[in-house]
A and B are shown apart, each in its own frame.
Chain A
Amino acid sequence: MLHAEWPLALFTLLGQAAAGIYLAVVLVREILARRSDAGQAIKATVLPSLVAGGLMIAAAIVSFLHLGSPLGAYRVLLQVGSSWLSREIAATMLFGLLWLGSVVVERRGGAGLLLGRLTALAGVVLVLCMSMIYQSSVIPAWTSAYTMVSFVATTLVLGGLGMLALRPGVEGVLPVAGWMTLAGLVLQLGGLPLYLGQLAQGSAAGRASLTLLMGAWQPQMWSFLVLGSLTAVAAAVVWQRRVQSLRVVYALLLVGLVGEAMARVIFYAIGVPVAVG
């Protein structure tokens, strides 16, 4: 299943990184605004806010590569009432519009935090819509609640590490990045045994996914486990020791990113549908 899905793997990773970084931006702003004023808080987080928007635009462009007939893409919003895919695109556009609105307002010196909060909320809604697409399929490896757990986890990890790499010296960044990264990895690694148990006890398609995971995709699985654990430990050390060396935080981002990318590759690779013939 993977060969055809790399645009989706990239789209979900980029979209989740964008939503996560923007969430981190808003959390850091909340901390800073309490100590100084909203204007200062916004100023200190301009760069990650711009990067989050750029990543979401890149995600939207990549999503077109997944379509067999991209010219009709405007029709994708027509079934918001029933299709999670329509809702996902609606949430992506909402995030984009709110983000653009907040950038414009902030550039004009408007110091309100509300627009940013709404943008972060749209990002969270987007991540939930993304996971519901897979949860409402007939692919046992995807219908599990672990899909949402791991999508939220990727959002937290990439958001936390991305923020740390972009603004390592800013007050509030270390605790926000530390909490996000650790919470994400605890969810993702901790939920894994339950998920594997679910697959083992499920339908033939679920067991086929497990066979793939334990067979052809075992090296990637181990890579994810090792890199994920390493990221969690390193993030905790960086947070506790208040490490600000750029080399260290870039290395941490790289290790975390490769781990999450590995998890996503596995996700698509083991998607075996319940089907006949």
Chain B
Amino acid sequence: MGQQLGFYLNQQFCMGCKTCAVACKDKNDMEIGVNLRRLTEVSGGGFAKVGDTYVPEVFAYWIGVSCNHCDHPKCVENCPTGAMHKNPEDGVVSVDQTKCIGCRYCTWSCPYGAPQYSEQRGKTQKCDMCADYRAQGKDPACVTSCPMRAIEWGPIDELKKKHPDAVVAVHGLPDPLMTSPNTIYTSHKSAVSGGRK
């Protein structure tokens, strides 16, 4: 295989504006309810006793996910038609729309909710890392749209070198051992990081 591609997200910068999700939706022309890039808020905390009084100690941060183009993609393993496949060149996992029969097994197989079924098309849709844009030498829509420059893409090894602090396990995400995802995060200061690199 060539170089495995992946995403990097900086949770410290992400403010949950959802511009990436909207840019992705617009670029891929997805119907209502089908979201190839999604954001989830993780919040918690409470009151802490300081001396004789209580002060609020709460936190909130965002987790952005699309598809992680995993090393062990359960979606690919379970797809009965071979429509869901991993590109041997760049490791990108995508749905061949000519082969998908809309059985939705992949939507039951991804711990990140990445494959999304489109009622309109009768087929599953999923992030292909903007393959058409990349072929034209452009960056993926979500990456260029982010006003905080919180998303990056590229060969995952290079992203890991560039961001030595980044991890795959962030509190709020499924166990990365399930599928070995290729998205790394600089975790928010409040996110309990599993610390796996």
A positions within 8 Å CB-CB of B: 4, 66-73, 75-79, 82-86, 89, 133-134, 136-139, 142, 271, 273-277
B positions within 8 Å CB-CB of A: 35, 38-40, 63, 65, 74, 76-83, 99-105, 107-113, 117-119, 121-124, 172-174, 178
Smallest beta-carbon distance A73→chain B, Å:
6
Contact check, B39 vs A75: say whether CB atoms are below 8 A apart.
no
Contact check, B100 vs A69: say whether CB atoms are below 8 A apart.
yes
Contact check, A76 vs B122: say whether CB atoms are below 8 A apart.
no
18 sampled A-B residue pairs with Cβ under 8 A: A66-B103, A67-B101, A68-B100, A68-B117, A75-B101, A76-B101, A79-B81, A85-B80, A86-B80, A134-B108, A136-B77, A136-B78, A138-B111, A273-B108, A274-B174, A275-B112, A276-B113, A276-B174
Contact check, B99 vs A75: say whether CB atoms are below 8 A apart.
yes
Q: Which of A78, A138, A273 has the most CB of B within 10 A?
A: A138
Contact check, B79 vs A277: say whether CB atoms are below 8 A apart.
no
Contact check, B105 vs A83: say whether CB atoms are below 8 A apart.
yes
Contact check, B113 vs A275: say whether CB atoms are below 8 A apart.
yes
Contacts of A137 in B (CB 8 A): 78, 105, 108-109
Q: How far is the CA of A95 from the CA of B108 in the complex (A)?
A: 26
Q: A69-B100, A83-B80, A277-B38 are in contact. List 14 more A-B contacts (CB 8 A).
A: A68-B102, A68-B118, A68-B123, A69-B101, A72-B100, A77-B80, A79-B81, A85-B103, A85-B105, A89-B80, A138-B111, A276-B38, A276-B112, A276-B113
Closest Cβ neighbor of A88 among chain B residues: B80
Smallest beta-carbon distance B76→chain A, Å:
8
**Which A-B residue pairs are the 7 nearest by beta carbons?**
A68-B102, A277-B38, A275-B113, A68-B122, A137-B108, A85-B80, A75-B81
Closest Cβ neighbor of A90 among chain B residues: B80
Q: With A82-B77, A275-B113, A276-B38 known to touch, is A68 a contact of B101 (CB < 8 Å)?
A: yes
Q: With A75-B81, A79-B81 known to touch, is A275 a contact of B103 (CB < 8 Å)?
A: no
- Main secondary structure, interface of A, reads loop
Q: How far is the CA of A274 from the CA of B113 in the complex (A)?
A: 8
Contacts of A83 in B (CB 8 A): 77-80, 105
Contact check, A76 vs B103: say whether CB atoms are below 8 A apart.
yes
Smallest beta-carbon distance A173→chain B, Å:
37
Contacts of B80 in A (CB 8 A): 75-79, 83, 85-86, 89
Contact check, B79 vs A79: say whether CB atoms are below 8 A apart.
yes
Contact check, A72 vs B81: say whether CB atoms are below 8 A apart.
yes
Smallest beta-carbon distance A87→chain B, Å:
9
Contacts of A274 in B (CB 8 A): 111, 174
